[in-house]
Structure 1
């Protein structure tokens, strides 16, 4: 079958690897034939690939654009891994514009019980179902559908860009892990998530988050399509910072704000005093509670968009109040360096 697929769909053997299995020693519950784009993966255990999956009861088969279940299982465990692989599939259905409308259904049923078969079901991104008779009655449709998924595969390769599959997956799942890049496009969702997480944190957790922080080495970055490194903000840490600040503005505790629907407390926003964009210049982690400031919306806008005089005034107060604690966490920066990070041109 692999030779038939390669020839009929004109797959370049230098770019694609096609292989299949009906089981080793005994018949597999879900026999499969996979098409791997070599630049992305050559294994069904990780990455993205096109696969024919035969239902366990042999009532039919699927053409599926799928993901390597073993990668998610090893990284997250079985239960969370299934949640993560389904989330990744849902995200990609939104991102990939070449998916034909008739292939967008996110569910397949392989009539199976085994872990690998359930992994295929969870990892399904898009595709279509056939009866066994379709092999003889609709050969043209099979080839046409396969070429459609080849176009989806090509689009995915462009999305991955200069990243490894692992880097790409981490980037896709940032917000599912309550992590956000320090950029304007994600700011509103970040602040909303911070408020939502704060609402869930119980009084018992407050005892834990009030403990002294320790310095942590800089974590590995996430990588965008162009290969640039970014260090995301953890909304859970930001929520804890707002709780510890008792929803008061760090610049002026008398500043008032409206009541948040999520927390039923004054609406405050989390702000990293030493910006996350500087993480690459520091050996130690910047996403720490001590570096996360609770600001009222007006002060938060001022520190980003105000005049240099106003920005310097608020920054000076916050910096000298936090400097000692930041230095204890390995975050060492002068006020002049911090002003430069905020594009303040005053001497």
Structure 2
């Protein structure tokens, strides 16, 4: 794993509790350092480059053996820092963007230093078209329909509301559009489960989308 040079150490209250696989370790680092890193200019940020390029590459390597085609992208925001950075896997016959369609995402809740795996409906286009209140209703209906389509799969993922600890427009839309999720503290021992849980979520995504 290529780590960025950091001017500040990770938060002392959240040090990794176990040896983690590469993608889980990189996401743990991001969750623990993001609040401090986003205080610096995003232009030329080694940390932003690390997340967009290196963390996305780790995810691509992890899912490369899968039979279906998936696009992987990661973002810390543009032009400035996002309040919630994300890494997402898209079935290209469904969507290639976080703006619309259904996909699998990994969100960083930086305030609470948590990592969230989510089966997700894109929010931006719906919010632009329908406005905030009706857009959230529409996203919640889509998420409920997706959950219903996966009843009987015994997946074990949470159907509880998602919390990204942000009042920004898009994160609130992501919360409304979440169908299933699993969340970890950045220092949780069971973060070792992130990579197999991502694979299991992608299996559900493939079933849902006919990938």
Q: Which aligned pairs between 1:296-311 and structure 2 lie closer than 5 A?
A: none
Offset of residue 118 of structure 1: 0.2
Q: Residue in 1 aligned with 2:122?
A: 68
Structure 2 Cα separation of the partners of residues 138 and 4 of structure 1:
19
Deviation per CA, 1:141-162: give whole Å up to 9, x if none.
Answer: 111111111111111113xx9x
Q: Which aligned pairs between 1:64-213 and structure 2 lie closer than 5 A?
A: 64-97=118-151, 100-134=154-188, 137-138=189-190, 140-158=192-210
Structure 2 Cα separation of the partners of residues 59 and 147 of structure 1:
22
Q: Which has the larger radius of gyration?
A: 1
2:104 is paired with a residue whose SS is strand
C-alpha distance 26-98 of structure 1, shift in aligned 2 (>3 A): farther
Q: Residue in 1 aligned with 2:72?
A: 18
Q: Relative contact order (C-alpha < 8 Å, sep 6+): which is higher?
A: 2
Q: Quick check: which one's helix share is greater?
A: 1
C-alpha distance 98-149 of structure 1, shift in aligned 2 (>3 A): farther
1:102 is paired with a residue whose SS is coil
Offset of residue 75 of structure 1: 3.2
1:118 is paired with a residue whose SS is helix
Structure 1 Cα separation of the partners of residues 183 and 99 of structure 2:
22
Runs of 4+ in 1 over 6 A off after TM superposition: none
Structure 2 Cα separation of the partners of residues 13 and 20 of structure 1:
22
2:125 is paired with a residue whose SS is helix
Deviation per CA, 1:9-46: give whole Å up to 9, x if none.
Answer: 33559811111111224321001111111111100000
Structure 1 Cα separation of the partners of residues 186 and 167 of structure 2:
21
Structure 1 Cα separation of the partners of residues 178 and 70 of structure 2:
20
User: Is the 1:34–1:51 Cα contact (8 Å) retained in structure 2?
Assistant: yes
Q: Residue in 2 aligned with 1:46?
A: 100
Aligned length: 157
Instruction: Name stretches of at least 5 consecutive residues in structure 2 with no aligned partner.
Output: 1-54
C-alpha distance 13-46 of structure 1, shift in aligned 2 (>3 A): farther
User: Is the 2:75–2:85 Cα contact (8 Å) retained in structure 1?
Assistant: yes
Instruction: Calculate the aligned-residue CA RMSD, in Å.
Output: 2.2
User: Taking structure 2 as the reference length, what is the TM-score of the superposition?
Assistant: 0.67
Structure 1 Cα separation of the partners of residues 201 and 120 of structure 2:
11
Deviation per CA, 1:287-314: give whole Å up to 9, x if none.
Answer: xxxxxxxxxxxxxxxxxxxxxxxxxxxx
C-alpha distance 139-4 of structure 1, shift in aligned 2 (>3 A): farther
Structure 1 Cα separation of the partners of residues 199 and 85 of structure 2:
21
Structure 2 Cα separation of the partners of residues 89 and 79 of structure 1:
16
